[in-house]
């Protein structure tokens, strides 16, 4: 009887019901994070209040959220299309490094190109580098049966050390540096700052557009149809004539190129140099983003922004209340755990419900007979 009196909140209500796992998991993650904050001796309401202020106090603080969302959006989509096609792409971390390397090589050369062209060239080379890098695990998975998770994680390490080598021992390394870094990039490669006094560059908007494009691509194109078919039932996909091996490589390369673009944007948008170990787990966070989003591009949009709020607000929380700065990462991890956990629990209880319903039906039938 409560059903009919439900408040008419179609949007929020439906999101909560259809994305029930994610929303409930996130709420539980935030509550668990609050308990940890409490244990560390800070009032969790103060802490979360500081977090929200840090993210939403004014436009300048919201730009922090946007800037942080840029790599999560792009990387999250890279992982999400993998999930849609049944591939676990855990290589975004490495692809970002390769994107950074590509951008660094081009932009330290001072080609004297006009800014727009130069930036596009950086994007292109960054994506190319990462794409070639991504083709390796893609090929190994599709044609040699190597587990893609192991392979991409291994290659992430190689990418980290490759970057370290490039910023210490190659001609594009800054000589006599106090910290391993490349030469400064050419001014023409800098992404324009959209709001003075902030770091807001076009990266987050590129990320948002990419999310929408991939939503369309998956839903409304034959490429997307093929991808989803491969993810839902690879045997049927093969039967329907899909070259599933080639498709796997393509998906991995696309994911890699998105990761590469994310890395390029981080380099030419923020620091204007390539630094040693500059990615620091953002690639793995994008796996979490895609996981919470359930592989849905629109979900990626929402969860990337949510994670960015946690991260940007988390910095303010640490500054204002003295909570450890790793707390935002912990809360993100808790959210992911609970989202996955709620999903599993829900599946179990659903099958238990089914069993009960069936038993009840059987009992009824017997009585009837």
Partner 1 sequence: MDNKAYALKMQGITKRFPGTLANDHITIECEHGKVLGLLGENGAGKTTLMNILYGLFRPDEGQIFIDGEEVEIQSPSDAINHGIGMVHQHFKLVDTLTVIENVVLGLPTMKQVLDLAPAKEKLLKLCHEYELFVDPDAEVWRLPVGQQQWVEILKALYRDCKVLVLDEPTAVLTPSESNNLCRAISKITAQGKSVIFISHKLREVMEITDNVTVLRDGKVIGTIATKDATQLKLAEMMVGRAVEIERRPRAKVPADSEPVLVMKDVNVYDERGVHALKNFNLTVHAGEIVGVAGIDGNGQRELAECISGLIKPQSGTIEIKGKPVTGVISDPSFLGFIPEDRHKTGLVLDFTVAENLIIKEYMKAPFAKKGILQYKEIGSHANEMIDKFHVKTSSKDVAVKTLSGGNQQKVVIARELNPEPILDIASQPTRGLDLGAVMGVHDVLMQERERGAAVLFISAELQEVMALSDRIIVLYSGENMGDLDGDTADQAVIGQMMLGKRI
Partner 2 sequence: MKKVLAVLAVFLITASFVFAGGSSEGSNDMAGSVAMVLSGLKTDQAFNQYTYEGMLRAGQEKGIKTAYMESVKDSEQIEVIRQFAQAGYQTIIGQGGQFGDALATVATEFPNTQFIFSVGNDTYGLPNMSAATVSYKEAGYVGGIMAANATKNNKVAMITGVFYANQSQMRDAFEKALHDVNPDIEFTAIETNDWADTDTAYNAANALIAQGYDILFPCLDAAGAGVAAAADDSKGKAMVVGSVADYAGVYGCKAVVGSVDFNWEGLGYLESTGELCDGQAHEVGLANDGLNITINNLSEEGVAALEQAKNDIIAGNIVL
* Residues from 197 through 216 that contact partner 2 (CB under 8 A): 197-199
Question: For partner 2, what does the binding mask look like between residues 69 and 98, x meaning CB under 8 A?
Answer: --x---------------------------
Measured torsion, CA atoms of residues 59, 64, 67, 69, in degrees rounded to the nearest 10: -100
Backbone angles phi, psi at 338, to 5 degrees: -70, -35
Separation between Cα atoms, residue 165 and residue 176, nearest integer Å: 15
Question: For partner 1, what does the binding mask look like between residues 315 and 354, x meaning CB under 8 A?
Answer: ---------------------------------------x
Q: Is there binding between residue 358 and partner 1 (CB under 8 A)?
A: yes
Nearest Cα neighbor of 279 from 74, 67, 65, 96 is 96
Residues in binding contact with partner 1, number by CB under 8 A? 23
Question: For partner 1, what does the binding mask look like between residues 214 and 243, x meaning CB under 8 A?
Answer: ------xxxxxxx-xx--xx-xxxxxxxx-
Question: Which of the stretches 84-92, 108-116, 212-220, 323-331 binds partner 2 when contact is defined by CB under 8 A?
Answer: 323-331
Task: Tell me the Cα Rg of the chain.
Answer: 23
Give whichever of 11 and 368 is closer to partner 2, judged by the CB atom: 11
| 103, 267 contact by CB (below 8 A) | yes
Nearest Cα neighbor of 37 from 330, 291, 349, 342 is 330
| 352, 39 contact by CB (below 8 A) | no
* Residues from 241 through 280 that contact partner 1 (CB under 8 A): 241-242
Separation between Cα atoms, residue 279 and residue 156, nearest integer Å: 11
Residues in binding contact with partner 2, number by CB under 8 A? 61
Q: Is there binding between residue 347 and partner 2 (CB under 8 A)?
A: no
Give the contacts of 83 (CB within 8 A, at least 6 positions apart). 231, 290, 291, 294, 295
Q: Is there binding between residue 2 and partner 1 (CB under 8 A)?
A: no
Distances (CA, A) of 312 to 30, 198, 261, 327: 15, 13, 21, 12
Q: How far is the CB of 236 from partner 1 (least distance, A)?
A: 5
* Residues from 128 through 187 that contact partner 2 (CB under 8 A): 168, 176-181, 184
Crossing angle for the helix pair 92-107 and 115-144, to the nearest 10 degrees: 140
Using CB distances below 5 to 8 A depending on partner kind, what does residue 290 bind out of partner 2, partner 1, none?
none
* Residues from 94 through 113 that contact partner 2 (CB under 8 A): none
Q: Is there binding between residue 21 and partner 1 (CB under 8 A)?
A: no
Using CB distances below 5 to 8 A depending on partner kind, what does residue 362 bind out of partner 2, partner 1, none?
partner 1
DSSP 322-340: ---TTHHHHHHHHHHHHHH
Separation between Cα atoms, residue 82 and residue 360, nearest integer Å: 41
Applying CB under 8 A, the residues found at the interface with partner 2 are: 2-3, 6-7, 9, 12-13, 16-17, 20, 23-24, 27, 30, 45-46, 48-54, 60, 64, 67-68, 71, 168, 176-181, 184, 197-199, 266, 270-273, 275, 277-282, 311-312, 315-316, 318-320, 324-326
Applying CB under 8 A, the residues found at the interface with partner 1 are: 220-226, 228-229, 232-233, 235-242, 354, 358-359, 362
């Amino acid at each position: 009887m409560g059903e009919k009196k439900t408040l008419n909140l179609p949007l929020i209500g439906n999101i909560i019901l259809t994305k029930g796992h994610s929303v409930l998991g996130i709420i539980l993650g935030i509550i668990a994070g609050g308990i940890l904050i409490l244990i560390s001796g800070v009032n969790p309401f103060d802490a979360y209040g500081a977090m929200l202020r840090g993210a939403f106090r004014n436009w300048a603080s919201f730009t922090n959220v946007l800037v942080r969302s840029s790599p999560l959006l792009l990387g999250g989509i890279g992982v999400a299309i993998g999930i849609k096609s049944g591939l676990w792409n855990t290589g975004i971390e490495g692809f970002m490094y390769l994107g950074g390397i590509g951008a660094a090589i081009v932009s330290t050369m001072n080609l004297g190109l006009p800014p727009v062209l130069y930036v596009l060239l950086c994007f292109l080379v960054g994506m190319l580098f990462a794409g070639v890098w991504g083709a390796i695990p893609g090929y190994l998975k599709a044609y040699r049966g190597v587990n893609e998770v192991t392979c991409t994680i291994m290659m992430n390490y190689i990418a980290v050390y490759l970057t370290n080598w490039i910023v210490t021992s190659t001609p594009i390394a800054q000589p006599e540096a106090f910290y391993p870094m490349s030469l400064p990039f050419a001014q023409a490669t800098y992404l324009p700052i959209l709001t003075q006094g902030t770091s807001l560059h076009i990266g987050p908007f590129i990320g948002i557009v990419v999310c929408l494009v991939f939503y369309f691509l998956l839903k409304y194109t034959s490429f997307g149809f093929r991808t989803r078919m491969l993810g839902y039932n690879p045997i049927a996909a093969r039967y329907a004539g899909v070259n599933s091996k080639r498709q796997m490589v393509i998906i991995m390369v696309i994911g890699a190129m998105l990761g590469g673009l994310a890395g390029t944007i981080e380099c030419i948008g923020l620091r204007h140099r390539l630094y040693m170990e500059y990615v620091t787990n953002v690639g793995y966070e994008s796996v979490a983003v895609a996981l919470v989003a359930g592989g849905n591009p629109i979900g990626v949009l929402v969860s990337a922004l949510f994670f960015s709020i946690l991260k940007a607000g988390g910095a303010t929380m640490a500054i204002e209340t003295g909570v450890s700065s790793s707390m935002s990462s912990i809360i993100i991890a808790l959210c992911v755990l609970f989202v996955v956990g709620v999903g599993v629990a829900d599946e179990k209880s659903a099958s238990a419900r089914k069993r009960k319903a069936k038993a009840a039906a059987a009992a009824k039938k017997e009585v009837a007979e």
